[in-house]
Amino acid sequence: MRACALLAALLAATCSSDGDAVSLVEESDPPVIITIRGEHGGLERHHLDEFSFFVREVYPELGDTIEDSLHSRLFDRFEREVILAYIAGRIGFHVSDNQIDAFIQNQMTTVSFHLMDEKEQALWRRAIRRRQRIQQFLQRKLLRDMEIEEEALHAYYRENEQEFKRDATYRIRVLPISEEETAKKIQASLRKTRKTFVEVAEAHLEDSDQLMPVTVPFKNLSEPFQRQVVRLKPGRHSKTIALKEGEITVYYILYLEAVTPATTLTFDEAYHDIRKILERRSAEEKLDQVLEEWRTKVNIEVFRKNLPFPYQDPSIRSTP
């Protein structure tokens, strides 16, 4: 669903900041980091353990050590998600316990889930409820009302032609050889025999998987490979290429199977990619409008001093 794809992208956008909240909330363990108070009363609290869970489960590859600037960006994403889920709930998008159970049943390993302690299960359920609320809001409200004019699609294509250029690609097989004398023998065999390059090469390899063809853009080839490949026609092999790799020299012979010339995607070929780009931009603009509107209706307080790292304002962070 495009709503799912947009969700991750939109939540990555920087959330507008209210600055450090100065209101007092009662001490709690874990501490409160965000509160949202509606115009008719009612207080929604979010605690540090929710954010820690957000980082741990949504970005497990980051591990335990995270730079302050990145940690700050992740907190901005969490803050934005919390606020959007609140707005979605206020507008009327709700997620029942049955829907959460169905998600766990279909998308998670239920055995593993039931082995978690009650606190971990509660954090999962709260995160699932937030995400599903936002998805409903995007799919049933934001995206349903979105219209992208055909002229806007054509204009983007005209103004961003470079994005749709595709480099020439080369489908090659690479034969690595450890000794120069062996390379000379293989070259001699290739000149005399009627066997194919693959048949000759496989006789000198313990693992034939090394000869699997790869398709690469010209710019991704090393300079010595580039110099050889441009001289080849499909079905031909290169001269021996000697490359120093640390303490040793490795000898290579390339075999060119096919060339796909450089090209530019037509508008029709690029149509769906352009639409996704413009939909995302439009959705970001609409979400910013929604957030701005609701910030005037409710009182959102963010207690960044309760975070376990020094929060960095977006203006002083390094470029992502």
State the pLDDT at residue 157.
Answer: 96
- Cβ-based neighbours of 187, under 8 Å, separated by 6 or more: 239, 240, 253
Show the domains of the chain with their CATH numbers.
2-150+267-316 (1.10.4030), 168-261 (3.10.50.40)
* Least confidently predicted of 39-43, 82-86, 316-320: 316-320
Q: What gap in Å lies between CA 308 and CA 61, rounded to an integer?
A: 19
118/29: higher pLDDT: 118
- The answer on pLDDT for 24 being more than 50 is no
Instruction: Give me the phi and psi of 178, to 5 degrees please.
Output: -85, -25
28/226: higher pLDDT: 226
What's the mean pLDDT in 135-157? Answer: 88
- The answer on pLDDT for 67 being more than 70 is yes
180 close to 251: Cβ distance less than 8 angstroms: yes
- The answer on pLDDT for 8 being more than 80 is no
State the pLDDT at residue 188.
Answer: 93
- The answer on pLDDT for 7 being more than 60 is no
209/289: higher pLDDT: 289
**Per-residue pLDDT tens digits for 261-280:** 999 999 999 999 999 999 88
- The answer on pLDDT for 1 being more than 60 is no
Burial class of residue 47, CB neighbours in 10 A (0-12, 13-18, 19+): middle
* Least confidently predicted of 101-110, 183-192, 210-219, 246-255: 101-110
What's the mean pLDDT in 10-17? Answer: 48
Q: What gap in Å lies between CA 183 and CA 251, rounded to an integer?
A: 7
Q: How confident is the model at residue 57 (pLDDT cuts 50, 70, 90)?
A: confident
pTM summary value: 0.64
- The answer on pLDDT for 237 being more than 90 is yes
- The answer on pLDDT for 53 being more than 60 is yes
State the pLDDT at residue 142.
Answer: 77
State the pLDDT at residue 284.
Answer: 87
- Both tokens of 243, joined, read 């490359």
**Cα torsion at 202, 208, 209, 215 (round to 10°)?**
10
- Cβ-based neighbours of 9, under 8 Å, separated by 6 or more: 280
**Per-residue pLDDT tens digits for 91-114:** 999 999 999 999 998 888 766 888
Residue 174 has a CB neighbour count (10 Å cut-off) of: 17
What's the mean pLDDT in 37-51? Answer: 90
Share of the chain above pLDDT 90, in %: 62
CA 101, 106, 108, 113 torsion-angle sign: positive
- Cβ-based neighbours of 70, under 8 Å, separated by 6 or more: 62
Q: How confident is the model at residue 6 (pLDDT cuts 50, 70, 90)?
A: low
Continuous H helices in 2-67: 2-11, 48-58
